[in-house]
Amino acid sequence: MIVKDKVFVVTGGGNGIGRDVVLALVRKGARVAAIDLNEAGLAETVALAGGLGDRISVHVVNITDRKKVEALPDAVVKAHGAVDGLVNVAGIIHRFAKINDLSFDEIEKVMNVNFTGVLNMSKTFLPHLLARPEGHIATVSSMGGFVPVPGQTAYGASKAAVKLLTEGLHSELLDTKVRVTLIFPGAIGTNIALNSGAMTKEQAAAAAGSAEASKFKTTPSPVAADQIVAGIAKNAYHVYVGSDSKLMGRLTRLMPKRAAKMIYLQMKSLLP
């Protein structure tokens, strides 16, 4: 898809990868409707865009609220005149715990944001994308959506659901002008644990400086965003972000049990 002069809707635009995708898109000449629950975070995104900030509109919306989401297309069209692409980035993790130790409320919250939110956005905007000369849906799953990560099993299940939803949309839209891209980030340098409410500021700071954290190489969020935007431009089917995601993607296809064991051995020290 040609990114320049297109209008994109980006969820999670107030922080992390979502913010960096917004900034990457406007640098490429696009206009962006940035969606997030965090009004202050959205304002900071616009400020970080500098002279390109006038290419961004901000919309404070909970993507799990279907009625609020259904009102979004009119707001985006009012701000930008059209909508050509949707980038589903918003997502949360839960606290690092086994399924047996998580409450149903914690599990449902993750499923609602990560899966139902993506479904709400994709289904609501799809008719508008189908009406454009070309359209695009790009959705962020996770390396945890294709290889199990102990302590984040419910999160992984939500991202596996996103994977099949997005791949199904790709197949259903093959005879249309709407292309679909699925993104698998590995470990990315963001504050997702803090923003998800999975850790306090003190816990996040301690975890970032721990010996366990130092074992895992992370991809900077702006680098991840650039790869996502490049994938959209190429109409890529899958985008693996980070050497960890690329490696585990290959290994999971060849030796799934061994791949799962490798992740377990790396992560078991973090299990409570």
pLDDT higher than 60, residue 200: no
Render pLDDT for 128-145 as a digit per residue (tens, 0 to 9): 999 999 999 999 999 999
Average pLDDT over residues 140-157: 96
Q: Dig out the tokens for 232 from the structure.
A: 């959209």
Question: What pLDDT is attached to residue 190?
Answer: 53
Average pLDDT over residues 115-120: 98
The confidence band for 214, taking pLDDT boundaries of 50, 70 and 90, is very low
Close Cβ partners of 252 (under 8 Å, ≥ 6 residues apart):
146, 147, 259
Mean pLDDT for the chain overall:
91
List, in sequence order, every beta strand (DSSP E) within the chain. 7-11, 31-36, 56-60, 85-88, 135-140, 178-185, 188-189, 219-220, 238-241
Render pLDDT for 53-96 as a digit per residue (tens, 0 to 9): 999 999 999 999 999 999 999 999 999 999 999 999 999 999 99
Q: Which residue has the higher pLDDT, 266 or 211?
A: 266
Distance CA 129, CA 136 (A): 7
Distance CA 272, CA 266 (A): 14
CA distances from 111 to 43, 69, 72, 144, 215 (A): 27, 17, 21, 14, 29
Average pLDDT over residues 121-128: 98
Residue with tokens 């790396």: 266
pLDDT higher than 70, residue 206: no
Catalytic residues, which ones?
Answer: 155
Q: How many helices (H) and strands (E) does the chain have?
A: 12, 9
pLDDT higher than 50, residue 18: yes
Distance CA 16, CA 10 (A): 12
Q: Given CA atoms 69, 70, 71, 77 in this order, what sign does their dihedral have?
A: positive
The confidence band for 216, taking pLDDT boundaries of 50, 70 and 90, is low
Q: How many CB atoms lie within 10 A of CB 225?
A: 26
pLDDT higher than 70, residue 153: yes
Average pLDDT over residues 118-128: 98
Distance CA 197, CA 183 (A): 24
Residue with tokens 């680098």: 223
Average pLDDT over residues 158-162: 98
pLDDT higher than 60, residue 211: no
pLDDT higher than 50, residue 212: no
Distance CA 204, CA 212 (A): 13
The confidence band for 191, taking pLDDT boundaries of 50, 70 and 90, is low
Average pLDDT over residues 111-128: 98
Domain 7-270: which CATH number of 3.90.580.10, 3.40.366.10, 3.40.50.410, 3.40.50.720:
3.40.50.720
Question: What pLDDT is attached to residue 199?
Answer: 45
Question: What pLDDT is attached to residue 160?
Answer: 98
Average pLDDT over residues 177-194: 82
